[in-house]
Amino acid sequence: MTSHFATRMNHVNDSFIREILKVTDQPEIISFAGGLPNPQLFPVEALAEAANRVIRDSGRQVLQYSTTEGYLPLREFISERYQRKEGLTVHPEDILIVNGSQQGIDLVSKVFLNRGDHVVIERPGYVGAIQAISLYEPEIHMVRLNENGIDLNNLKSILTRHPVKLMYAVPNFQNPSGITYTEETREALAALLTEYSVHLLEDNPYGDLRFMGTHALPVKNRLGDLGILMGSFSKTAVPGIRLGWVCAENTIMKKLKIVKQAADLHSNYLAQRILVEYLENNAFDDHINIINQAYKSQRDCMVSEMEAQFPDTVTFTRPEGGMFLWVTLGVHASSSALFERAIQKKVAFVPGQAFHLNGEGDRSLRLNYSNASVDQIREGISRLASAIEG
Amino acid sequence: MTSHFATRMNHVNDSFIREILKVTDQPEIISFAGGLPNPQLFPVEALAEAANRVIRDSGRQVLQYSTTEGYLPLREFISERYQRKEGLTVHPEDILIVNGSQQGIDLVSKVFLNRGDHVVIERPGYVGAIQAISLYEPEIHMVRLNENGIDLNNLKSILTRHPVKLMYAVPNFQNPSGITYTEETREALAALLTEYSVHLLEDNPYGDLRFMGTHALPVKNRLGDLGILMGSFSKTAVPGIRLGWVCAENTIMKKLKIVKQAADLHSNYLAQRILVEYLENNAFDDHINIINQAYKSQRDCMVSEMEAQFPDTVTFTRPEGGMFLWVTLGVHASSSALFERAIQKKVAFVPGQAFHLNGEGDRSLRLNYSNASVDQIREGISRLASAIEG
């Protein structure tokens, strides 16, 4: 039977993170492993009202089939916001509504990638992107991250040696590292990609979750048509409604609409209508500010506890936003070995190998701070410190 | 720029039906072109109540990320219903919740199809399946339908000549033809597919919409693990929530979960919770009976008007359920030419070419009766009859 499966299935396994999340699901474990937004901050009442209103007032429309591109007022909201927040002039017809930006990665890969094509991903990189892209059987090159964002020399050396078609990157509060690309890095990255005519799939699920430092504009602003920008309502509104978007120029958008229609006709229309009803009747930026205040306290607590309790051999990033930070253990340390000890001490994280190919990255690990209270963070880091001590 | 796109994009164009639906969108046109369920029959109040209840009572859960396979009580509902209605013993873990069965077609194709693999589809066939499958660049063989379902000799001849991996079929009230496979055809089809070890992707979005005749059991009942069965809530509940499912044995299910997770992590969780809340508090079969009574009147009206008004050279199917019937024009007639005349007379349908490859099928056309009132059907068929007269 197995021989019936497509060869692309040889390139992926059952998700490593899924397996880890099963282990860490026990209630007595303090988990920094997941990637969940804090549900205490969900605008539950406002969404209940919005749902009630759109179904009662317009049920025969909002429960019917709809258009592949997505509900126009939602695409207008997104394009106006790009203009206002990012200085990016795009129109509603440049926006495709998808089931979270995860679907955007799949659809863009489907439009661009033949088997054997060359793709660049960050190292460490977003697991969901590695999985989605791998299913199209490309050659994946991972480019190192550094404190300024991406290692440009490493990238240039890859671009010189391989005809790269597409690069996937998360320039703001990257998952898993928490790193944000500097202005200079963005500028130089755009120049390099333009020189080699490489499309950038710029994923920005965390961009609005900045709680310190200064806002940086998308790389797409310097890239023009080579830039494909994605966003998500999963971290700013709620993830359960699975709504995100892809922003791309017309030639690409036409192809994206074809593959979106073939994939599932259109994204959940009821969810789109509920979200627009919510956005029109609530101050979205105020809501995001509330999230950012909470995440800043959680992040500050985690950083200061780690500074106080971890040995000097352990280093870590200090993100200015987003949901994750990245820990590098001392030389010869193993995060998968640490994971076993940590689970015994009832604290969990994701070992770094999950964000690499070929088993690399075992000295590092990812911590999530968005879905734990300050008290849990204090106790959890203390447990982790004692696990690190051995 | 175009050269950057994957070769799979050469196999599909912007949807023909999308273009037709744009033309037929004008309010003065009576359209039998779409494939929409009748929104007058949507359980709007009950769904509004269900939405309000799940968000208010369990907002922090139902708006959060969830599991790839889908909400367990929904998968339990589906597997229990299979046992009760179809005599098919499956377990919740054999069910994957997807965004309408359209996504099932995409995911199953992704799991099975390498470029150049051989696939069988019905002729005429469901456009969405042709599109989704074509993106995996297989060799597609279309097998003729007849009044008993599928032309088994035609199928056998294809299976003898090509190493077919997968067949896609809609055995109940097929889209576009309205044809239902007889028991004998199901039996013989299962035997043939078993002999040649071909997986059957059995799509059953209309199976519950039977308003005359006797229920036929799925082909999967005779096929075992070679059978992959799909269903949908789009026609029995509402389509805007994009919920359907794939039912497959464990080896296939493991692969499906991997590609589902890469595609969009999981289906809309809020929608799943609303649907379960609705199903637990309402008599679903009674609701389906209401739909079937309405569709039977609409179908009966369309058939009797056509019998009265169409010339004898025009033949058509008399479906026992579902939403469509299939018209074959006289020798040398062209449905695309008829379409132009029909639009001038303010009535629309989908020309048969949409359901074929390579421009075949121009003598035939599809009519939808689910989304038109009896009055509209009477007037619309009268207009169509006069367009046929020339």
**What are A317-345's pLDDT values in tens digits?**
999 999 999 999 999 999 999 999 999 99
Contacts of A92 (CB under 8 A, 6+ apart): A72, A75, A76, A78, A79
How does pLDDT run across A140-154, given as a tens digit for each residue? 999 999 999 999 999
Please report residues of B whose CB lies closer than 8 A to that of A258.
9, 12-15, 131
Separation CA B106–CA A112 (nearest Å): 17
The answer for residues whose C-beta is within 8 angstroms of residue A254's C-beta and 6 or more apart is B14
CA distance linking residue A128 with residue B381, whole number of Å: 51
DSSP string over A302-326 = HHHHHHHHS-TT-EE---SBSSEEE
Q: Give CB contacts under 8 A, 24+ apart, made by B4-8.
A: B4/A112, B4/A165, B4/A199, B5/A111, B5/A112, B5/A255, B6/A110, B6/A111, B6/A112, B6/A113, B6/A114, B6/A117, B6/A136, B7/A114, B7/B137, B8/A110, B8/A114, B8/B134, B8/B135, B8/B136, B8/B137
Instruction: Give me the sign of the Cα torsion angle B353, B358, B361, B366.
Output: negative
Cβ neighbours of residue A372 under 8 Å, at least 6 residues apart?
A30, A31, A32, A298, A380
Model confidence pLDDT, tens digit, residues B200-242: 999 999 999 999 999 999 999 999 999 999 999 999 999 999 9
Burial of B3 (0-12, 13-18, 19+ CB in 10 A): exposed
B59 closest CB neighbour out of A2, A37, A47: A47
* Residues of chain A contacting residue B261, judged by C-beta atoms under 8 Å apart: 15, 18, 128, 131
CA distance to partner chain A, nearest, from residue B50 (Å): 9
Q: Which residues of chain B are within 8 Å of residue A263 when distances are taken between CB atoms?
A: 99, 102-103, 106, 132, 263
A234 contact B CB<8A: yes
| Candidate from A36, A111, A261 with C-beta closest to B5 | A111
* Average pLDDT of the segment spanning A196-203: 98
pLDDT at B390: 81
Cα within 13 Å of Cα(A306), Cβ side: 20
User: How far apart are the CA of B293 and the nearest CA of chain A, in angstroms?
Assistant: 19
Q: Consecutive 10-residue runs of chain B (390 residues): their mean pLDDT? A: 80 72 81 95 97 97 96 98 97 98 97 98 96 97 97 98 98 98 98 98 98 97 97 97 97 96 96 98 98 98 98 98 98 95 96 92 97 97 96
| Cβ-contact A216, A171 below 8 angstroms | yes
B303-328, pLDDT tens digit by residue? 999 999 999 999 999 999 999 999 99
Strand ranges of the sheet holding B350-351, from the earlier edge strand across to the other edge: B315-316, B324-328, B364-368, B350-351
Cis preceding-peptide flag for B176 (omega within 30 of 0) = yes
Confidence of residue A2 (pLDDT cuts 50, 70, 90): very low
| Global ipTM | 0.96
pLDDT at A185: 98
- Nearest-CB residue to B100 (from A8, A14, A265): A265
Cα gap B226→B201, rounded to integer Å: 9
Q: Determine contact, residues A270/A54, Cβ cutoff 8 Å.
A: yes
CB atoms B266 and A242 under 8 Å: yes
Residue ranges in B28-71 assigned as alpha helix (H): 44-62
For residues A155 and A178, give the distance between their C-alpha atoms in angstroms, rounded to a whole number. 20
What pairs with residue A351 in β-bridges?
Answer: A365
Strands A347-348 and A30-31 come out as parallel
Find the residue in A nearest to B6 (Cα): A112
Backbone angles phi, psi at B93, to 5 degrees: -75, -5
Ordered by where they begin, the domains of chain B are 2-43+286-389 (3.90.1150.10), 64-281 (3.40.640.10)
pTM, rounded to two decimals: 0.97
Asked if A266 reaches chain B (Cβ–Cβ under 8 Å), the answer is: yes
Size of interface A-B (CB pairs under 8 A): 242
Cα torsion angle, A339, A341, A343, A346, sign: negative
- CA–CA separation, A243 and B240 (whole Å): 14
Question: How far apart (Å, rounded) are the C-alpha atoms in residues A154 and A188?
Answer: 13
User: What is the Cα–Cα distance from A106 to A112, expressed in whole angstroms?
Assistant: 10
- Is A3 a residue whose pLDDT tops 90? no
Q: For residue range A339-369, what is the model confidence (pLDDT) as tens digits?
A: 999 999 999 999 999 999 988 999 999 999 9
Give the number of C-alpha atoms closer than 13 A to the C-alpha of residue A83, restricted to the C-beta side: 11
Contact A59 B48 (CB under 8 A): yes
**A118: three-class secondary structure by DSSP:** strand
